Amino acid sequence: MRIEVDRDLCASTGGCEAFAPDVFEIADDGELVVLRSEPGEADLPDVRNAVQACPTRALRLVG
Amino acid sequence: MTLDATDAVDLDAVDLSDRDFWGRPPAERHAVFDALRRERPFAFFAEPEVPYIPAGPGYYAVTRHADVEAISSQPALFCSGQGAVSIPDMPPELNEFYGSMISMDDPRHAKIRRIVAKTFTPRMLERLVDSVQRIAQEVAAGARRKAEAGDGTIDVVADFAAPVPLWVICDMMGIPAEDRQMVLEKSSIILSGGDPDLIADENEILTQFLEAGGMLSDLMNRLAAERVENPRDDLTTALVNSEVDGEKLTHQEIASFFILLCVAGNETTRTAISQGVLALHEHPDQRARWAADPSFTPTAVEEIVRWVSPVTWMRRTATQDTEVNGRPVQAGDKFLLFYGAANRDPEVFADPHVFDLGRTPNPHVGFGAHGPHFCLGAHLARREIGVAFRTLFDELPDLEVCGEPERLRNSFVNGLKRLPARLTGVR
């Protein structure tokens, strides 16, 4: 499973970081950084919540 | 108190632009919104009169969760730049000055949002937890001292719900303690919606509003100049130094953002806390459940935000002829997204009129629906609300609401002006 970010939609709300801080981080310049673009099994529930919670629907979990 | 008052609601007599409607008891207003959602999900209303501002063509009141979501999540079709926080179109300068990025569209909105995004992420806020806790404890101790020095009563709004978020936002910005009261008063005027209690003369609304903005702006300019000389570890320093694509924020952008923070960071959280205290008073079983078990905090906070819906609406304007869930829309049509109504939509929430601190899932739109304008301070607000209530349970467990709340007569914020309470342990 791989995380895709639509940079046109992402508004750096940090919603994903709230759910999966080990996977997502808003960097100092305000851009979203995906720390693990292919998250492990253990991260998947949090990542799914993060994808669902994204206010701008900028995240997708594919594969 | 019956909420299913379909027969009692005469929708032809309802006018959401009438200030008096917003002073009606909540049960009555919810019954009206239930009826609107069910029978007239895009009810049309003439615009309220604002002295010196020409009235526009009117607006549609959006009350279904699905329609609020559809409009909010398509910012290219439904813009904020013509005004998100006022019903009439304001002069563009005023609009941006008071609304900051709330009343902007991308790409400018995105530019400013990215600059401040980092400061409001959950990770950054972790560092704030201790200070929020300390502030809440200090404020609670002050409330107890006041009750002890007086007749054992306090005002939940002035003595607890207002100071907590005010101190937090002032700390984050690095605003000196002596300026806090001014920030509180001026932000209240900006969000008063002309409530006669805050602005006595209706003809003074605009001048008082401008004066309030001017004073907050002066404070920010003073602080910004200081931080350029002497940087500190605060949000103001981050704002004056931050660059996006090699561009710094202009003085006006900084001042506008500051006004937005003062207003949005104070009134909304204050409302969630004060109305939350009232809701717990009205639902003692829920209060007991949460007080006994801190693990309820995450769902409890979400339910308070759903239940209270501190911001009643935001506006969007159609940029072209289009449709919303099959309903045709014309370019220029204005829509008010009524979050409180969407948050009680039975299509989405089981038993929407039941206050359930364990509610899950809870896809409320109390912080806004999907879209780029989703509340920047949502993480901060959640933290503040959670800490505020745990502190109340720990430090003021004897607090009992002892009188009727006084409600703000304002369509934009679901606020309380006063909520009398007694500390029963004080004798």
Q: Which of B110, B117, B368 sits opposite A14 (nearest CB)?
A: B117
Q: How far apart are CA B381 and CA B384, in angstroms?
A: 5
Reported ipTM: 0.82
Do B132 and B140 touch, CB atoms closer than 8 A?
A: no
Q: Which of A17, A29, A57 sits opposite B370 (nearest CB)?
A: A57
The pairing of beta strand B334-338 with beta strand B59-62: parallel
Strands annotated E in B255-376: 313-318, 322-324, 327-329, 334-338
Percent of chain A with pLDDT over 70: 100
Cβ within 8 Å, pair A12-B114: yes
pTM: 0.92
Residues 6+ apart with CB under 8 A from B171: B131, B135, B234
CA distance A43 to chain B (A): 17
Cβ within 8 Å, pair A30-B117: yes
A6 at B interface, C-beta within 8 A = no
Cβ within 8 Å, pair A17-B120: no
Inter-CA distances, B112 with B108, B191, B221, B295, Å: 6, 22, 18, 36
Closest-CA residue of chain A to B105: A11
Cβ within 8 Å, pair B374-A31: no
Q: Which of B116, B120, B371 sits opposite A55 (nearest CB)?
A: B371
Crossing angle (nearest 10°) for helices B163-173 and B251-282: 150
Cβ within 8 Å, pair A30-B114: yes
| ∠ CA B393-B359-B311, rounded to 5° | 75
Q: Which of A12, A21, A57 sits opposite B117 (nearest CB)?
A: A12
Cβ within 8 Å, pair A30-B376: no
Between chain A and chain B, the number of residue pairs with CB atoms below 8 A apart is 60
CA distance A10 to chain B (A): 8
Cβ within 8 Å, pair B370-A28: no
Residue B79's CB is within 10 A of a number of other CB atoms, namely 21
Q: How far apart are CA B83 and CA A32, in angstroms?
A: 28
Structure tokens at B337: 């997204």
Cβ within 8 Å, pair A55-B113: no
Bridge partners of residue B180, in order along the sequence? none
Task: Tell me, rounded to whole angstroms, the distance of Cα B117 from its chain centroid.
Answer: 19
Structure tokens at B414: 């679901």
Cβ within 8 Å, pair B114-A31: yes
HSE-up (13 A, CA, CB side) for residue B233: 3
The pLDDT value given to residue B388: 97
A15 at B interface, C-beta within 8 A = yes
Do B86 and B102 touch, CB atoms closer than 8 A?
A: no
CA distance B108 to chain A (A): 12
- Give the neighbor-by-neighbor strand order of the sheet with B420-423: B153-155, B420-423, B399-401
Cβ within 8 Å, pair A29-B374: no
Closest-CA residue of chain A to B382: A18
Q: Which of A14, A27, A55 sits opposite B122 (nearest CB)?
A: A14
Q: How far apart are CA B394 and CA B392, in angstroms?
A: 5
Mutation for B interface: A12, A33, A52, most B CBs within 10 A: A12
Q: How far apart are CA B131 and CA B7, in angstroms?
A: 50
Residues 6+ apart with CB under 8 A from B53: B88, B90, B206
Q: Which of B114, B123, B376 sits opposite A17 (nearest CB)?
A: B123
User: What is the distance in angstroms between the CA of the first residue and the CA of the last residue of chain B?
Assistant: 34
The pLDDT value given to residue A30: 81
The pLDDT value given to residue B1: 44
Closest-CA residue of chain A to B125: A18
Measured between beta carbons, which residues in chain A are less than 8 angstroms from residue B118? 12, 26-30
Kindly state the average pLDDT of the residues A45-55: 90
Task: Tell me, rounded to whole angstroms, the distance of Cα B148 from its chain centroid.
Answer: 32
- Chain B: which residues have CB within 8 Å of chain A? 73, 110, 113-118, 120-123, 244, 368, 370-372, 374, 376, 378-379
The pLDDT value given to residue B247: 75
Binned average pLDDT, 10 residues per bin, chain B of 427 residues: 59 93 92 97 92 86 98 95 89 72 87 80 77 95 97 96 92 90 86 69 77 90 92 86 77 84 87 98 98 97 98 97 97 98 98 97 95 91 96 97 92 93 92
Cβ within 8 Å, pair A21-B123: yes
Do B172 and B166 touch, CB atoms closer than 8 A?
A: no
